[in-house]
Amino acid sequence: MLPTLAAAVSISDSFVFSPVIRPDADILLEITGLHARVEDNAILKGVDLTLRAGEIHAVMGRNGSGKSTLSKVLAGHPAYTVTAGTVTYRGQNLLELSPEERARLGVFLGFQYPVEIPGVSNLEFLRVATNARRVQLGQEELDTFAFEDLVRERIKVVQMDPAFLDRSVNEGFSGGEKKRNEILQMALLEPLVAILDETDSGLDIDALRIVAAGVSQLATADTATLLITHYQRLLEAITPDFVHVMAAGRILRMGGRELALELEERGYDWVDQELAALELG
């Protein structure tokens, strides 16, 4: 460990770094003082985060730091209870909306472990989901034929074999195929805020490249992307504008892409030290 260097980088970064790239861009998602628990365990202990249109954020941290909980809370998973704080999505209180309402309004969660749903056709599932979003946007619902055309076009984004459309949702898919299916859903739903939870886990190098290219292609000037990841390697393929380091349920540090490199180089131990210092103080 190199405590002196750590201190130096930490200080210089927090002073030099300017947290806004385009101050005039619309705020899509604003998280303030968010606390949440699952059963009796407090997991999130005051998270603040602002996503503006056109931005890509990465949240990094150890296992158990609260990264995945943050994503589940934003999507409305019933196992998590918000105990304090607010989440505003385009001016609206996100926390009072059901998971399906959040999705229809354009909040997307790409799951770390997408579940298998035997008996439910993947194609039909994708169509029902896409139509739910389209109805919300005031667009016409697509019949099976029109939807097939759309899905065959969007599937190119993730270079997925169309044979997977005829299977049950995620059933028997490999880890990589499940992740491609997640990004295909993102491509169809066209969310404004996409939260991708450990999208790189379980992917080999080629699949990672394809998935990352898909995500980059879908990140536009009108959308915000929140990448939750443990490793730097996803961030080599998708360049984040901001990197947040999460520990013990809050965001400990915020910086530019160089923060991710620093983490990669030095591991997470210094985070623990910083955290310990914080708690002592």
Nearest distance in Å: CB 117, another protein: 5
If one counts every other C-beta atom within 10 angstroms of the C-beta of residue 197, the result is 23
The verdict on 76 binding another protein (CB under 8 A) reads yes
Q: Which amino acid is at 74?
A: L
Which C-beta is closer to another protein: that of 187 or that of 235? Answer: 187
Which C-beta is closer to another protein: that of 53 or that of 184? Answer: 184
10, 50, 88, 136: residue in contact with another protein (rule CB under 8 A): 136
Contact 83, 42 (CB under 8 A): yes
Q: Using CB under 8 A, which residues numbered 164 to 203 contact another protein?
A: 168-169, 185, 189
The verdict on 137 binding another protein (CB under 8 A) reads no
The verdict on 77 binding another protein (CB under 8 A) reads yes
Q: What is the spatial distance between Cα 131 and Cα 124, in angstroms, rounded to a whole number?
A: 10
Which C-beta is closer to another protein: that of 125 or that of 268? Answer: 125
Q: What is the spatial distance between Cα 231 and Cα 261, in angstroms, rounded to a whole number?
A: 10
Residue length of the chain: 281
Q: What is the spatial distance between Cα 71 and Cα 90, in angstroms, rounded to a whole number?
A: 17
Site string for another protein, 2-41 (x = CB under 8 A): ----------------------------------------
Chain center to CA of 191: 12
Nearest distance in Å: CB 82, another protein: 9
| Total binding residues toward another protein, as defined by CB under 8 A | 34
25, 27, 42, 129: residue in contact with another protein (rule CB under 8 A): 129
Pull the structure tokens for residue 98. 């059901």
Which C-beta is closer to another protein: that of 124 or that of 148? Answer: 124
Q: Across the strands, what pairs with 32?
A: 86
The verdict on 81 binding another protein (CB under 8 A) reads yes
Nearest distance in Å: CB 8, another protein: 43
If one counts every other C-beta atom within 10 angstroms of the C-beta of residue 47, the result is 24
Cα distances (Å, whole numbers) of residue 255 to 57, 111, 251: 10, 25, 11
The alpha-helical segments, DSSP class H, found in the chain are 3-16, 67-75, 99-105, 122-136, 144-154, 175-189, 205-218, 233-237, 257-266, 269-280
Nearest distance in Å: CB 2, another protein: 42
Which C-beta is closer to another protein: that of 125 or that of 231? Answer: 125
* Residues near another protein (CB under 8 A): 75-79, 81, 96-100, 102-104, 109, 111, 114-115, 117-121, 124-125, 128-129, 132-133, 136, 168-169, 185, 189
